[in-house]
């Protein structure tokens, strides 16, 4: 199922494909990047967690979890998404000095405690994570990507909390 979300300012409709640089336009599924050898340790950890009771909070070595929102990077993102199973994944793509990002984050933390069946992740779109940011597609910051079964199914561009909640609910129940 593909959802369209509005972008700020222009009122234009943006699809995940349209905002994803270099990704195939035929579908909204964004291809996974191949995992580097550094992420093999993460894969092992994620596999172990899949065998357990599961949790919306995944803490891996080198990553930090802040009240249910896990910081990811270009190496840990896809392994965590792989390990999400049927859970909806919400990725908060932010930059260090983006004011609206800082405003939204406490609300995202609140959402993470409200939705036990959703995995909340955050990605600092800095130079180091640029390959992943480019793969996923981002222009406006913050951008929220919603994934299900390892594919991007919706996107919210901008600090639009109500739109984000509505979209999460639609994807969860879809």
45, 60 Cβ separation under 8 angstroms: yes
Q: Which of residues 8-47 bind other proteins (CB under 8 A)?
A: 8-9, 21
Copy the structure tokens of residue 7. Answer: 């972008």
The tally of CA atoms less than 13 A away on the side-chain side of residue 81 is 27
Which of these segments, 33-41, 53-61, 99-107, 110-118, binds other proteins (CB under 8 A)? 99-107
Residue 9 CB, shortest distance to other proteins, in Å, is 4
Report d(CA 168, CA 65) in Å as an integer: 21
Inter-residue contact 92 to 122 (CB < 8 Å): yes
Binding segment for other proteins (CB under 8 A), chosen from 55-63, 82-90, 93-101, 164-172, is 93-101
101 as an active site residue: the answer is yes
List the catalytic residue out of 101, 104, 118, 159. Answer: 101
Residue 125 catalytic? no
Residue 72 phi, psi (nearest 5): -120, 170
Q: Segment 140-159, which members bind other proteins (CB under 8 A)?
A: 140-141, 143, 158-159
Of 15 and 161, CB closest to other proteins:
161
Site for other proteins in 114-143 (CB under 8 A): 125, 133-134, 138-141, 143
Ordered DSSP codes for 35-50: PPGGGHHHHHHHHHHH
Which lies closer to other proteins via its Cβ, residue 110 or residue 117? 110
The size of the interface with other proteins (CB under 8 A), counted in residues, is 23
Supply angle C-alpha 46, 48, 52, rounded to 5: 110
CB of 13 to other proteins, least distance (A): 17
98, 105, 150, 151: which one is catalytic?
Answer: 98
Residue 121: which residues within 8 A CB-CB, separation 6 or more?
Answer: 69, 70, 71, 72, 77, 80, 89, 90, 91, 92
| Binding site residues, other proteins, CB under 8 A | 8-9, 21, 93, 95-103, 125, 133-134, 138-141, 143, 158-159
Question: Which residues are designated catalytic?
Answer: 98, 101
């Amino acid at each position: 199922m593909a959802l369209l979300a509005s972008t700020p300012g222009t009122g234009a409709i943006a699809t995940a494909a349209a905002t994803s640089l270099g990704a195939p336009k035929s579908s909204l599924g964004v291809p996974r990047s191949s995992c580097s050898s550094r992420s093999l340790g993460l894969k092992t950890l994620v596999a172990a967690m899949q065998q357990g009771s599961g949790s919306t909070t995944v803490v891996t070595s080198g990553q930090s979890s802040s009240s249910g929102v896990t910081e990811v990077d270009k190496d840990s993102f896809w392994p965590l998404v792989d390990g999400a199973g049927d859970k909806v994944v919400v990725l908060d793509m932010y930059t260090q000095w983006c004011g609206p990002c800082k405003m939204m984050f406490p609300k995202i933390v609140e959402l993470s405690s409200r939705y036990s069946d959703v995995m909340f992740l955050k990605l600092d779109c800095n130079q180091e994570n640029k390959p992943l940011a480019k793969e996923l597609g981002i222009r406006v910051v913050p951008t929220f990507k919603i994934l299900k079964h390892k594919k991007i199914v919706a996107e919210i561009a901008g600090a639009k909390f109500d739109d984000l909640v509505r979209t999460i609910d639609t994807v969860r129940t879809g």
